[in-house]
Amino acid sequence: MDKTQNRILKDIIDKFKLPIKIKFIQFRNLREFKYFTIERINPTHRIILFGKLKNNKCKNHVPKGFIKVGEIIIPCITLFFNLQLIVDYINIICLFFNLFFVFNILFYYSINLNFLKVLYVNWNRRFFWRWENSLFS
């Protein structure tokens, strides 16, 4: 890419507020197009760049609509996540972790210790007297 195409690519990055570190795969010359638009295939790391030709005539049997100019890949977002987001929501993350921890403890005790059985045996001994007096019978 020459200096003009690099300038056009920087203008596209500024216009669509993309991160600076991107990988651009070019299919057509950027100087042939009047203006550009993007389509986010995967919003986190894959974007397709479309452009409209400068002249309104058909060029090389291509219609007036948007033409696929290139593809933008954002590699840094796929490898790293936004740490500022974690810092902003650290209270909610800790709250959910604590609730999950407490729920697991209560679930474990409710499965392994049958509180209803203990209460029922103490309240109504005539049905379960053999369990408690099994050593003496």
Q: How many structural domains is the chain composed of?
A: 2
22 Cα distance to chain centroid = 19
Identify residue 65 by its one-letter amino acid code. G
Same domain, 94 and 109: yes
Same domain, 40 and 60: yes
Which of residues 64, 79, 94 is at a domain's end?
Answer: 79
Same domain, 7 and 54: yes
Q: pTM of the prediction?
A: 0.50
Q: What percent of the chain has pLDDT over 70?
A: 68
Instruction: Look up tokens 């902003």; give the residue.
Output: 88
The predicted model gives 33-43 an average pLDDT of 83
For residue 103, the enclosing domain spans 83-132
Same domain, 30 and 92: no
The predicted model gives 124-132 an average pLDDT of 53
- Cα–Cα distance measured from residue 48 to residue 95, given in angstroms and rounded to the nearest whole number: 39
Which of residues 49, 64, 79 is at a domain's end?
Answer: 79
Asked if 64 contacts 53 with a C-beta cutoff of 8 angstroms, the reply is yes
From residue 30, give the alpha-carbon distance in Å to each of 35, 78, 98. 10, 27, 53
For residue 137, is it within any domain? no
pLDDT digits (tens, 9 = 90+) for 59-112: 566 566 788 999 988 876 544 566 777 788 899 999 999 999 999 888 877 776
